[in-house]
Amino acid sequence: MKNRWIAALLAVAAISAPAFCLAAPDPVVIGAVIAQTGPVSSLGEGEVKAINMYAKDVNAKGGIAGHPLKVVILDSAGDPQKAVLNVRKLISEDNVAGVICCTTTPESMAIIDTVQRAEVPTISLGSAATIAEPVSERHWVFKPSPTDAIMIGVEVGDMKKRGVKTVGYLGFNTALGHAGLTEFQKAAPAAGIKIVNVEQFAPSDTNLSAQGAKLAAANPDAVLIIANPPGANVAQKAIQAAGYKGTIYQTYGVTNETYLRLGGASLNGTRISVPPITVYNHLPDSRPFKPVVEKFVKDYKAAFNGEVPSNFAAFAYAGIRIFSTVAGNELSGGKAKLSDTASFRKALRDGIENLHGFQSVNGTYNFSKTDHVGLDASSITMVTVENGEYVVAH
């Protein structure tokens, strides 16, 4: 009889054992769609590295309020249609709490309807203000990179300060170029600067001699180029080959190793408005975000054999850090449960919108119900390119 009781107790214990074991906490799943291949892969490479580096660091420190951070990254190849398909997959199959997408403005614009309908908080890495504006039509979309309006505004201010009276324009015929041109056409006349010529081209174009010749013939005091490498390099070389000797402005979309390597000494004197990462070793102590910038650069260089992160890596790092910080706030306070995906997504969205004074690698974020970018011109610096380096102009 005694043996039968012992056997019965052991059987009950065996059946019940899993219930007494501590179940592994569910992960916080964030999806990302990045251009890892294709014409803008030089931008996406750093983005993927930064996201993975952050996730590894967070998990090594115990995760987000005890939950591991899981990141699912898919490749868009810079193709808006592929970006949409991959975002749908992340939402429907991977049940992600939030999405980081995409590397470029055209991709980011293409997915807006998808994430708005699915009610999934999304952080874009593109540059155009229209990605996150108007907020009334972008309830679920945020953009931690500075807008083209902010960056172009700083460049137009630099032009005015240097006495530029006439300017030409050469940019992509994509959403990136159209958005930038729109902001330029607002800012330049307001500063008393006349736009004397506008030329556009496709990112895949390799011969811009016709556009370069027209701009050189117009001979403005300065030319603004809005494009990404390698197209930005093709555009600058075409203008210079046509004999133009004035000042060339580019936007921060060129600030990666590819642009410097392809342009070489021909880039000397080019003026660019840049976010903090580009001048990480020249930031004054008065910038409150300086410690965050320095830690990011130090960790990134240590993880990737001394490689200095690009601005695009910084945007991605800011994106995953924002999601992680807000998720931690919500889970620690018990205000949201991971098991209720819809409610957790809403909590993330609302938490981002209420994030104020958040120091980041891109500056100080102050999101609100009317501002899903959260940055202003106070984090931006004007630089010139000199012998393969960015030199602070002011």
pLDDT reported for residue 16: 47
pLDDT reported for residue 112: 98
Contacts of 261-265 with CB under 8 Å at 24 or more apart are: 262/229, 262/230, 262/233, 263/233, 263/236, 263/237, 263/385, 264/388, 265/387
In tens, the pLDDT along 74-123 reads 999 999 999 999 999 999 999 999 999 999 989 999 999 999 999 999 99
Distance CA 130, CA 195 (A): 22
Per-residue pLDDT, averaged over 220-239, amounts to 96
Task: Give how far the C-alpha of residue 212 lies from the chain's centroid of Cα atoms, to the nearest Å.
Answer: 30
Query: What average pLDDT is seen over the chain?
Result: 92
Q: If 0-12 CB within 10 Å is exposed, 13-18 middle and 19+ buried, where does residue 94 land?
A: middle
In tens, the pLDDT along 356-385 reads 999 999 999 999 999 999 999 989 999 999
pLDDT at 341 over 70: yes
Q: Which stretch of DSSP H or E encloses residue 213? A: helix 209-218
Least Cα distance to 359 among 322, 320, 313 occurs for 322
Task: Give how far the C-alpha of residue 27 lies from the chain's centroid of Cα atoms, to the nearest Å.
Answer: 24
pTM of the model: 0.81
DSSP string, 244-262: --SEEEE-GGG-SHHHHHH
Are 355 and 326 contacting, i.e. CB atoms less than 8 angstroms apart? yes
Task: Give how far the C-alpha of residue 300 lies from the chain's centroid of Cα atoms, to the nearest Å.
Answer: 16
Task: Compare 269 and 333 and report the one with higher pLDDT.
Answer: 269
